[in-house]
Amino acid sequence: MKTKYNEFHCPLCTSKNLDLFLEDKTRIYLRCIFCKLVFVPRHYWLSPEDERATYDLHENDPLNQGYRQFLSRLSAPLLERLGLKQKGLDFGCGPGPALSVMMEQQGRQMDLYDPFYYNDPSVFDKKYDFICATEVVEHLHNPNKEFAALFKMLRQNGWLGIMTKLVIDENAFKKWHYIRDMTHICFYGRSTFEYLAQRFNAEIDFVANDVILFNKK
Ligand SMILES: [Zn+2]
C-alpha cells in the first residue's frame, strides 16, 4: 500500500511515507505516517474559479450573533492571554471579516489577509503579537510553506490561534460532514498539531475540540 503512493509527498512535513486513509466516490485521502496529516492530492482539487465560487457563498456577517458566538470560542481564550493594545492578523479572513471587528471592539487592532478577498502580501513582512486562522488551515494548498510563514510573522511569545475540526479516526472520518466540502483538502489530528509545535518551537494548548492555541517560545 505504501509504495503505491510514492509519487506523492506530505504537503506539511514532506515525508513520502504515506498510506491510503480513505477513498470515497469523489476523492482519495492520503495520510502521512510521520505527522498524521490527512490530505487530498492536488489532482482532486477544485479549480481556482470553483474554489472562489464556493467561498463567495459563505458570506459571514460580522453582526450575526450565531457567527460571533462561534468565533468567540477562539477570541475569548485568546483575549485572556493577550496584553492590551496588541496587534494581530486575521489570516484567511474571507469576504466578510468578523473576527477582526470583534477583536477591535476589545482594543486589539487586526490586519486582514486573504488570498481571494484581501490579497495584501505586505503582511508577510510584518510581525504580529497574535494571528488567527479560523476555518482556514483545512483549505491550505501548501501547509508546509504557509505554517512557516505564519510562525515567521509571529513575535516571540506571540499567539497563533487556529480553528479547524480534528481528525479522530477512520470510522468517524468516513461519515464526517467536513470531508464533503470540496474546498477542504487538509485534515489535522491532534498529533499533527503536536508535530507543528515541536517544529516551530511553540507550546500548544488544545482549548476546545476545534480550537488550538500555539505560543511561540
Ligand atoms: Zn507529514
**Span 146-157, pLDDT tens digits:** 999 999 999 999
Cα of 183 vs its chain's centroid, Å? 12
Q: Can you list the alpha helix ranges (DSSP code H) found in 64-188?
A: 65-81, 99-105, 143-153, 170-174
User: Distance from the CA of 196 to the center of ligand 1, in angstroms?
Assistant: 10
Distance of CA 178 to the CA centre of its chain: 13
Which residues partner with 130 through β-bridges?
88, 159
Tell me if 63 sits within 8 A of 212, measured CB to CB.
no
Locus of grid cell 465560487: 53
Neighbours of 160 (CB within 10 A): 27
In CATH, the number for domain 61-216 is 3.40.50.150
pLDDT digits (tens, 9 = 90+) for 92-115: 998 878 899 999 999 999 999 999
| CA of 63 relative to ligand 1 center, distance in Å | 38
Write down the domain spans for the chain: 61-216
Q: Is the dihedral of CA 158, 161, 162, 168 positive or negative?
A: positive
What is the C-alpha to C-alpha distance for residues 169 and 189, in angstroms, rounded to an integer?
9
pLDDT category of residue 6 using cuts at 50, 70 and 90: confident
Please tell me the distance from the alpha carbon of residue 133 to that of residue 149, in angstroms, as a whole number: 13
- Taking the centre of ligand 1 as the mean of its atom positions, its distance from the CA of residue 72, in whole angstroms, is 30
Residue 3 has pLDDT above 90, yes or no: no
- What are 91's strand-pairing partners? 113
Position 208 pLDDT exceeds 80:
yes
pLDDT of residue 140 exceeding 80, the answer is yes
Q: Where do we find the cell 504537503?
A: 11
Q: What CA–CA distance (Å, rounded) separates 134 from 46? A: 21
| Residue 139: all three cell numbers together | 483549505
Residue 185: Cβ-neighbour burial (10 angstroms; 0-12, 13-18, 19+): buried
35 CA to centre of ligand 1 in angstroms = 4
Q: Are strands 128-134 and 154-163 parallel, antiparallel or unpaired?
A: parallel
- The pTM of this model reads 0.94
- Sign of torsion, CA 13 14 16 22? positive
Q: Is the predicted pLDDT of residue 195 greater than 90, yes or no? A: yes
Cα of 75 vs centre of ligand 1, distance in Å, is 29
Rounded distance from Cα 76 to ligand 1 centre (Å):
31
| Other beta carbons within 10 Å of 69 | 9
Letter for the amino acid at 8? F
pLDDT score for 90: 97
Q: Model confidence over 60-90: pLDDT tens digits?
A: 676 788 888 999 999 999 999 999 989 999 9
User: CB within 5 A of ion ligand 1: which residues?
Assistant: 10, 12-13, 15, 32, 34-35, 37
Residue 16 in this model has a pLDDT that exceeds 80: yes
